[in-house]
Amino acid sequence: MTGQAKLFHESWYRIADQRISLRPNVVVRRQVLRGEKWYVVQNPLSNQFYRLNPGTYEFVSRLSASRTVEEVWKEAQDRDPENAPGQGDIIELLAQLYHANLLHYNLPPNSEKLFERYKEKKQRILKANLKSIMFFRIPLFDPDALLQRLLRFIRLLISPVGVAVWCLVVVAGLKVAIENFPELRVQSQGIMAPSNLLFLYIGLVIVKTLHEFGHAFAVRRFGGEVHTMGVMFLIFSPLPYMDASSAWTFRNKWQRVFVGAAGMIFEVFVAACAIFVWVYTGPGVVHSLAYNMVFVASVSTVLFNINPLLRFDGYYILSDLLDLPNLHQHSARHLKYLVEHHAFGCKNCETPATTRREEVLFTTFGILSGIYRIFVFSMILLFVADQFLLAGMIMAVVCVVSWVLVPMVGILRYLGSSPRLYRTRTRAIAVCSATFAILFSFLFLLPFPNSFKAPGVLKSTDYVIAVNKASGQIAEVIATSGERVNSGDPLLRLTNEELELEIRESQAGLDEAHAQHRKAMHNQQADLDPIAGRIAFYEKRLRRLRQEQGDLIAKSDVRGIWVAPDLEDRIGMWISRGSPLGELINDDHFYFVSAVSQADVSELFAQGIRKAEVKLAGQASVPMVVTEYATIPMEQTHLPSVALGYAGGGDIAIDTRDAQGVKTSEPYYQVRASVQSDPEVALMHGRSGRIRFSLAPKPLAWQGWRKLRQLVQKRYQL
């Protein structure tokens, strides 16, 4: 309880004359948190816990059936007025202890009330499970007797010897994983393949079972008890879980931290053992199962459980490291306090934060955990809907009801009947109404800039692909890439020894034919015609070969920028006649060709475009004005550049069967836009970028609704 509590409370008369005490079977343990003493009250029958500060425990410990609550409170005020709880604190405390079945009072209906509270507890658990439908829990058995029989093994496992074995195995497993990392990465590509899903789930069950026993072993090792193990339906998939709440009573903070981390520690050890099995077994059931256990234990589970924003292992570890138990509840109470105190003007509300540091921590954690929880649940919804559409739709409805409708009903009930607002109810209703009106106007009425983007590439209106006219081996690059050249300028030099030999052979044949022709003119005039034919053949062949020899110097056909960035790396390579060498680009005029998806093309044909601009990669801060654009009114399946698809680092899905990387998996529409040159922007043929089409402003709600419909239509064809 905080020192900011109000000393008197208007509902005090309801409990002032009650004679209440702690139940006889309650166990009390002392802890030290942030240098202060605290007392943990435990009901061993229900395994429920409650933490009290010294002033509050001093009051609770003096409660008895022979004294009224008011008498004990007055005595506490007389003994230590600075630390004694106020009446509001006591009312809240007794209500919580009452619902935890930690109180006893001598009234005839006490037994009946006990069963009523038990039923209320079951109803609260059921409601909590319904709200957390994706994390539904069913307790099955009490493992404490088994853990007692294994206590000698547990002590050996969690000991210096066990730590040494763990370090040795994990380091060796890490070494093996690094040595075989390429094979691990290749096999991970099929982790979600239908043929692997069964092995993945079996590996997940094995790893999670060992994870939960890791927590149970740690609790038992330090003297705690574990009375609940069962099945948790994580996204409708049954997985084991255990209740380690008795670790809350451990006085040593590092023991509680170890209990929180024990599951992940066991998983890392399992991953190290499984990596050896995977390496030393061939393809088969054992090999696949071992790999899936490595994947689950070393990647997905560790990263998921260590996140403190979800109420899993990382959350409890953070709470213990900060000495802030019930961090989630305190953050929620602090956020509620901020609203009630600053917005509603309530003077009798209190915050669980005792320092400025705690206020910042509670505020930050409460906001971040809420946002992250919505993000995780949204991703889970999409994942489930991808596999089972009907289950995803049911979960979406449940989430809308639990996240939207139920909170709205709760807020209305709170505004209408909460005793906290008895003096400021009008202001609270006005603030909530104004907030709702502002939020509604912001989402549904206020127009916001509306636009969509499409990837594309810059192309010259006049460019030529230079090819070699003769086969040969690249010997020298004369013109470097990016250099401006004129028509006829040499670009590169090729060599062809076979061509030289053919020229010499043809020249020798021609010389021989000329000698035979001179001889036949004196002695065998009848052979002149055939010899003349041979001379013509060799002369024609020599002209062709010498033309090819001249073509070994590749020259520019037009004036422009020579673009061939890979020629230097191709020196010494043989290239056949007609192979592309590079591009000659006229840099006077360019246009931008973009690929617009089917989800956005309706806006193009609706003629609602107000403005368009292009931003090139690397210079996105300098937009280029689009003077005009034209939409080609037919579906396209081949990209204007490989740079737009997955194969070239773009974000357009391509057909996996296309080796060129330009055939798209879905049709798109092509838009060609003329751009106005800017001296600050380097215009280069093939440079990628994005074109942005500005539409008429629309409220955010309608823009989001359109994006959601597009997402549903694209993913589920609805």
H-state helical runs in 150-249: 151-157, 160-179, 181-188, 197-221
φ, ψ for residue 624, nearest 5 deg: -110, 130
The whole-number average pLDDT for the span 183-191 is: 79
**CB 58, CB 80: distance < 8 Å:** yes
**CB 562, CB 481: distance < 8 Å:** yes
What is the per-residue pLDDT across 564-613, written as a single tens digit (0 to 9) for each? Answer: 877 777 888 888 888 888 777 777 778 899 888 877 777 777 767 888 88
Q: Return the SS3 of 627.
A: strand
DSSP symbols for 35-98: TEEEEEEEETTTTEEEEE-HHHHHHHHT--TTS-HHHHHHHHHHH-TTTSPPHHHHHHHHHHHH
Residue 48 has pLDDT above 60, yes or no: yes
Residue 125 has pLDDT above 70, yes or no: no
Neighbour tally for 377: CB within 10 Å: 16
Neighbour tally for 70: CB within 10 Å: 16
Out of 298-312, 343-357, 385-399, the most confident range is 343-357
H-state helical runs in 388-424: 389-400, 406-417
- For residue 542, the 8-state DSSP code is H
Cα(98)–Cα(614) distance, integer angstroms: 67
The whole-number average pLDDT for the span 374-402 is: 76
Instruction: Tell whether the torsion through CA atoms of 690, 695, 700 and 706 is positive or negative.
Output: negative
Stronger pLDDT, 118 or 359, i.e. the higher one? 359
Look at residue 393 in the predicted model and tell me its pLDDT. 80
Q: Return the SS3 of 235.
A: coil
**CB 593, CB 586: distance < 8 Å:** no
Give the angle 47-53-57 at the CA atoms, nearest 5°.
Answer: 75
Percentage of the chain with pLDDT > 70? 89
Tokens (6 digits) for 610 = 């107000």
The whole-number average pLDDT for the span 394-414 is: 83
Name the burial class of residue 420, with classes exposed (0-12), middle (13-18) and buried (19+) by CB atoms within 10 angstroms of its CB: middle
- What Cα–Cα distance (Å) separates residue 28 from each residue in 46, 250, 261, 532? 15, 11, 26, 123
The whole-number average pLDDT for the span 188-192 is: 73
Neighbour tally for 159: CB within 10 Å: 12
H-state helical runs in 180-298: 181-188, 197-221, 253-279, 285-295
Stronger pLDDT, 481 or 108, i.e. the higher one? 481
Percentage of the chain with pLDDT > 90? 11
**CB 624, CB 612: distance < 8 Å:** no
The whole-number average pLDDT for the span 624-637 is: 84
Cα(139)–Cα(349) distance, integer angstroms: 37
Distant-in-sequence, close-in-space partners of 284: CB < 8 Å, separation ≥ 6 = none
Residue 95 has pLDDT above 80, yes or no: no
Look at residue 163 in the predicted model and tell me its pLDDT. 92
Distant-in-sequence, close-in-space partners of 688: CB < 8 Å, separation ≥ 6 = 455, 456, 457, 458, 616, 617, 641, 643, 644, 650
**CB 40, CB 249: distance < 8 Å:** yes
Look at residue 406 in the predicted model and tell me its pLDDT. 83
The whole-number average pLDDT for the span 659-671 is: 84
Stronger pLDDT, 42 or 320, i.e. the higher one? 320
Out of 38-47, 397-406, 698-707, the most confident range is 698-707
Cα(507)–Cα(428) distance, integer angstroms: 106
Average pLDDT value for the chain: 81
Pairing of strands 27-33, 237-242: unpaired
Cα(386)–Cα(371) distance, integer angstroms: 23
What is the per-residue pLDDT across 271-294, written as a single tens digit (0 to 9) for each? Answer: 999 999 999 888 888 998 999 999
Look at residue 9 in the predicted model and tell me its pLDDT. 67
**CB 214, CB 266: distance < 8 Å:** yes
Neighbour tally for 614: CB within 10 Å: 25
The whole-number average pLDDT for the span 529-537 is: 81
Residue 130 has pLDDT above 70, yes or no: no
- C-alpha closest to that of 234 among 294, 297, 312, 125: 312
- C-alpha closest to that of 611 among 492, 449, 463: 449
- For residue 310, the 8-state DSSP code is S
Q: Is 556 left (phi over 0), alpha (psi -120 to 50) or beta?
A: beta
At position 86, the amino acid (one-letter code) is G
Stronger pLDDT, 127 or 371, i.e. the higher one? 371
Look at residue 166 in the predicted model and tell me its pLDDT. 94
Look at residue 112 in the predicted model and tell me its pLDDT. 45
The whole-number average pLDDT for the span 406-422 is: 85
The whole-number average pLDDT for the span 247-269 is: 87
Q: Please state the separation of Cα 188 from the chain's center in Å.
A: 17
Stronger pLDDT, 536 or 35, i.e. the higher one? 536
At position 166, the amino acid (one-letter code) is W
Residue 439 has pLDDT above 70, yes or no: yes
The whole-number average pLDDT for the span 166-180 is: 92
Look at residue 608 in the predicted model and tell me its pLDDT. 73
Cα(217)–Cα(30) distance, integer angstroms: 23
At position 556, the amino acid (one-letter code) is S
Look at residue 169 in the predicted model and tell me its pLDDT. 93
What is the per-residue pLDDT across 680-695, written as a single tens digit (0 to 9) for each? Answer: 777 777 788 899 988 8
Cα(124)–Cα(116) distance, integer angstroms: 12
Q: What is the 3-state secondary structure (H, E, C) of 449-505?
A: EEEEEEEEEEEECCEEEEECCCCEEEEEECCCCCCEECCCCEEEEEECHHHHHHHHH
Instruction: Tell whether the torsion through CA atoms of 89, 92, 94 and 96 is positive or negative.
Output: negative
Look at residue 118 in the predicted model and tell me its pLDDT. 44
Look at residue 110 in the predicted model and tell me its pLDDT. 43
For 215-254, letters b (16+ CB in 10 Å) and e give: bbbbbbbbebbbbbbeebbbeeeebbbbbbbbbbbbeebe
Stronger pLDDT, 135 or 39, i.e. the higher one? 39
